[in-house]
Amino acid sequence: MHPFDYKRRSTRQVIVGGVPLGGDNPIRIQTMASTSTMDTEGSVAQTLRMVAAGAEYVRFTAQGVREAVNLGEIRRRLRAQGVDVPLVADIHFNPRAAFAAAEEVEKVRINPGNFVDPGRVFATIDYTDEEYAAELKKIEEALVPFLELCRKNNTAIRIGVNHGSLSDRIMSRYGDTPAGMVESAMEFLRVCRRHDFGDVVISIKASNVVVMVETVRRLVAAMKAEDLDFPLHLGVTEAGEGEDGRIKSAVGIGTLLCEGIGDTVRVSLSEEPECELPVARALVDYAQSLAGAPSIDAPEASGEGYDSRRIRNVGGSALKVVMSDTDDVFDDNFTPDIIAGNTDLKLHRCTADEVLDGRVKFGDDEVIVLSSHHRNYIGHMKAAFHALKLRNVDNPVIIKAGYEGLGADEVKLRGAVECGALLLDGYGDGLMIEADSLSAADAARLAFAILQSARLRFSHTEYISCPGCGRTLFDLQSTVARVKAATSHLRGLKIGVMGCIVNGPGEMADADYGYVGAGVGRVSLYKGKECVEKNIPAEEAVEHLVNLIKKCGDWK
């Protein structure tokens, strides 16, 4: 194996009912029900739709013991219809519900941020080392009986860390950081190892794609350092809906899958759950296809990313640009510095093969437009960037990705994975996307959306919205639509729409404004992490949100 080739991370196998994951098993895809867990008939019907769409696991929220027990009834009804999809209980704040669910379903997800620690209130607590060690002892005392019950019932567990629900204990010692997220997971994993419990899957998620990718990589490194090989569940939380939600998920999940990380995937969209599964399947299939790609025999340069110098408005510290070979890309939504067909920049177009062969030389005033048609596009392009570094080339580089014979939806996912993975690792000063199924304007919009998902350039309003589940306290999809209708012209603003308080203010820490379910038909509004209006009737909440944005001076 060469450093730029695809290689899947080696993990242990975890038994989840009749669908094991990790080890030599395929990467599994899953989703989560949006029905009330007490609605047995509706839950069974929705599960059948999800399974028909390809779900290999189905997760339900279980707020309390009552919901956890009813999962057993849902499972029995499904089995009576010949459907043996493993069910997963999603637990927050209530360990009693986790114990009850362990006797009813094949897997239980617990959140280290609130399984033992109290719910997050953003309080800073100054622990001595002895006090902190005592808190860890509490975790072990609470977790071991749960592990023993799961062992008895052959129930797997998922240790699911969310950026939005780190405990105040972790926050006080590590801050709101990837390091804190990793430690939150490792505290629980160390207990599992000490007590020889191996049927464990880990997830470590954030709505910010950059944070999500960095944190998962850190977790993999931390586990390797401690000789742990648990499989990973990948997801970008609160990705939103529509094209933006798909692109954001593809950038985060796809980047990790293509470097061999991930054993099961859930794409979180603010849509019907069966809509998530084709997206997850496409991402998994693409990543797994890289195993058969020709090897890339090329040397590695030291250091991370590619540092360029600036030529006019490209490279160096300049904003990442979008380029097109035609002028037919401009409309009111685009910033004026898009590079269009008649640019007078000196462009040097070349392929990754030409760079790797050393066949090309670059003038001091040339911007490189780099492309590849290798099956492992990401690895081949990275190898070319490394070759440029080894030759001490520092010209700006625009990443070019071309797609022929693919449908528009596939182009958007492939482009997000391939270009997003390079951008997240510090390669490239701009994007140029061409596809016979996209107009020049749509290709440019895709490039801007990828740059925004990678947190490199903001060109439109961003919505951080959860997918909804049995905890959701209002009609999420229609609410997101109404919020977007009222605010979509606020370019660069980030607005969170959350169905409940579980991850609300925490996962929205990256948002400028938040709209959070506070009770049945009630909504609370946030400015950043601060709740500024409580328990507004849902039918009035969008108007209140608009007034809040105006009051704070962010309305345009």
Query: What percent of the chain stands above pLDDT 70?
Result: 94
pLDDT at res. 336: 47
- Overall fold of domain 462-551: Sulfite Reductase Hemoprotein; domain 1 (3.30.413)
Confidence of residue 505 (pLDDT cuts 50, 70, 90): low
Q: What is the DSSP letter of 292?
A: G
What kind and span of H or E run contains 535?
strand 530-537
- Pick from 45, 92, 81, 233: nearest CA to 156: 233
Q: How confident is the model at residue 277 (pLDDT cuts 50, 70, 90)?
A: very high
Confidence check: pLDDT of 308 > 80: yes
Kindly report, residue by residue over 212-228, the tens digit of the pLDDT. Answer: 999 999 999 999 999 99
- Measured distance CA(185)–CA(58) in Å, rounded: 23
Check if the beta carbon of residue 270 is closer than 8 Å to that of residue 483: no
Q: What is the pLDDT of residues 409-465, one digit of tens each?
A: 999 999 999 999 999 999 999 999 999 999 988 999 999 999 999 999 988 888 888
Q: How far, in Å, CA of 347 to CA of 426, rounded? A: 21
Instruction: Work out the pLDDT band at 492, boundaries 50, 70, 90.
Output: confident
Cα–Cα dist 483/41, whole Å: 31
Say what the pLDDT of residue 240 is. 79
Q: What phi-psi label fits residue 465: left (phi over 0), alpha (psi between -120 and 50 degrees) or beta?
A: beta
Q: What is the pLDDT of residue 93?
A: 84
Please determine, for residue 209, whether its predicted confidence score (pLDDT) is greater than 50: yes
Please say whether the beta carbons of 539 and 490 come within 8 A.
Answer: no
| Residue whose token pair is 């890289």 | 290
Predicted local distance difference test score (pLDDT) of residue 270: 87
What's the pLDDT tens digit per position in 321-360? Answer: 999 887 766 555 555 456 766 678 899 999 999 999 998 9
- Rounded to whole angstroms, the Cα distance separating 217 from 212 reads 9
Tokens of 68: 């956890």
Within 13 Å of residue 60, how many CA atoms lie on the same side as its CB? 33
Q: pLDDT value at position 510?
A: 73
Are 72 and 100 contacting, i.e. CB atoms less than 8 angstroms apart?
no
* pLDDT band, residue 28 (cuts 50/70/90): very high
Q: What is the rounded CA–CA span in Å between residue 441 and residue 461?
A: 18
Give the confidence band of 498 by pLDDT, cuts at 50, 70, 90. confident
d(CA 513, CA 180): 24
Kindly state which CATH superfamily the domain 13-292 is placed in: Dihydropteroate synthase-like (3.20.20.20)
Residue 296's CB is within 10 A of a number of other CB atoms, namely 20
Q: CA distances (Å), 357 to each of 364, 434, 459, in order?
A: 20, 25, 37
Indicate the average pLDDT of the chain.
92
- pLDDT of 131-172, one tens digit each? 999 999 999 999 999 999 999 999 999 999 988 788 889 999
The model's confidence at residue 506, banded by pLDDT at 50, 70 and 90, is: low
Name residues whose C-beta falls within 8 Å of residue 93's C-beta, 6 or more positions apart in sequence. 114, 119, 502
The pLDDT score that the predictor gives to residue 480 is 87
Q: Is 460 helix (H, G, I), strand (E, B) or coil?
A: coil
Q: What is the pTM assigned to this prediction?
A: 0.93
Which whole number is the average pLDDT over 376-390?
Answer: 98
- pLDDT band for 121, please (50, 70, 90 cuts): low
Comparing CA positions, the residue from 521, 517, 522, 469 lying closest to residue 91 is 469
Distance CA 470, CA 39 (A): 9
